[in-house]
Structure 1
Amino acid sequence: MRAIVLEEPKKLVLKQLEIPEPGENEVLIQVKAVGLCGSDIHYYEHGKIGDFIVEKPIILGHEASGEIVKAGKGVVHLQQGQRVTIEPGATCGKCEHCQNGRYNLCEKVEFLATPPYDGAFCEYVVMRSDLVFPIPDQMSYETAALIEPFSVGLHAVSRGNLQEGETVLILGMGPIGLMTAAAAKLHGAGVIIGVDLEDSRLEKAKEMGATHVINIRTDSVDDKIMEYTKRRGVDVAIETAGSPAALKSMIAAVRRGGRAVIVGMSPEDESPLNIAQIINKEIDVKGVFRYHHTYPKAIELLSSGKVNIERMITDSYELEQAEEAFEKSIHDKQNTLKMMIYPNGR
């Protein structure tokens, strides 16, 4: 099979590798579509993300969908020919976090495209069968691949305990912010306010469900929030930009007794927060790390047709064009949101 391998930072090589064989309780999947994620770009550009360092050649890509071509021994709920989406993190199933349902916190997780584990920018992958979910006939491979980042938005909305009719603020309209807006709409949010500094992303936010948008280049976030909420503040604020300034705005925007959710990873490990505001308004502050138990719900929600998350796809590439995709994502951020790569052609 063909695979795109990151040999070292900014060096991708198209290689011929052996097609893997599925073991017990595993399936072999022909990869149809893979989204290019910000983490892939970080590994390509810098060779590391925090403590995760690329120390040997690796295949990137973890937002994937495809078709089952072979089932290993013991697989009874999946069969050849099924169209599927892939949850990329294989957890241990035994630790306290796996046992209490928060398996996203498992310290022994083997996550696609996170060193040292290979990802899906290749023609075939083997996955544990419990991480593979059939998709409806009407769902495209593109939407199925985007279930992975949509799951982050879904988990963020869940962590914020967003209720029907409530007001939610989302700071940062990159792919995860847009997915969070879509998740908020599907959860029945009454008002969805999107914040960014690019008009193109704010226009896309409206397509994803935002009822109001704020461009921080031209408007005061604090003033607009007070206007849109009649000086009450928002019920839930979700920060997806990884920006210290956005964190400050998040805390200021939340109403008394409201909730704040931090999704974005800042370049700095520490960011200042207004502790007095958190205490005085008794704000619940929660973090988000990936997701858990989201895939069945995501498939159900995205099958409703109420939101089309494919609208954020700005570019499409064949496998051999992967380096072009990475470079454009780095140098043309204004015109790119989500790129889709097709290992077996379109």
Structure 2
Amino acid sequence: MPANISTSAITLLTGSYTPDSGGEGPGIATLRVDPTTGRPTYDDEVRPLPVSGASFLAAHPSLDVVYSTNETEAGGVSAVARHDDGALSPLGDPVSSGGANPCHLSVHPGGEWLLTANYGSDTAPGTVAVHRIGPDGRLLEATDLVVHQGSGPVIGRQEGSHAHQVLVDPAGRFVLATDLGADAVFTYRLDTRTGILERVAVNPLSPGSGPRHLDFAPGGDLVFSADELSSTVTCHRYDAATGVLTALSSVPATTARDVANQPGGIVASPCGRFVWVTNRGADTVAAFRLAGTTLEPAGEVPAGGTWPRGLTLAAGHLLVANQHSGTLAVLRVLADGTLDQPHPSVSAPSVVCALAL
């Protein structure tokens, strides 16, 4: 089985758009995932925490603390404490993300820095922010804010830069930030003493591709991109010594025709042989098999809802956050990397992401 298997129930936190951020969700909710079936059920003993615009979640590597974007025009990030009984509570007040519409964040492996991608707006460029994390997990002062520059050929989406994801490479050496508006992946080095980002490379991608999210193969030598605007999935060679990406192969994200499609979440299997992508528009999850450095389609199944966005691997299943239908669906991963038809989904209004703990 190409997925992680657990023998006990898995805690799952979902993030959703709240009424003050254009959705109907509760913010952050807690579920339990059955390790055998992968099916999630709400933990009725844990009340949802109303975090505004909780569009992406990331866990601290050593503390029971989770960080959430506050995806609004004002832009913020929140720290959330998880208690022994599973209860959630704010850990300090939200802090400014330094830009508009923060849509992704990650914690540096050392646990001392939070990295946030601010998508920006029609008038504000995409940016990447760095915040210091205190010993108890609280968010402290911002230490850096880098502004992306660039544009692309897609009218209405690429007049300016739009940072969409920020993550640390598997070696912990570089920080990579995708930019949907600039058709590029920016590579930075983080000074872990000062929290300052130094740009070391700008990796151009195909014009009009609109890179949204990346995921690394386990070895760290390959990285896969979900290209939102060209509706493709691309395999890149990653040079861990320089932070440079080189595109190797690209395939359509969906076999659906005559439908406007935008890939959303992307996950590489722990064994490194498979990649899965959500398709917003086609409303599917597509599986791909890696043959050397070439991605080959390996099947496509319904997402169990509409506008599938976040994709999370847990207990040998993929959990799909279907934003527009407000459902969290379950797809079993088969031994050959293909996907079973979705199990009955659970209601999750305006859900956009999930984090397995």
TM-score, with normalisation over the residues of structure 1?
0.30
Which has more radius of gyration?
Answer: 1
Higher RCO (C-alpha 8 Å, min separation 6): 1
Query: As a proportion of its length, which structure holds more strand?
Result: 2
TM-score, with normalisation over the residues of structure 2?
0.29
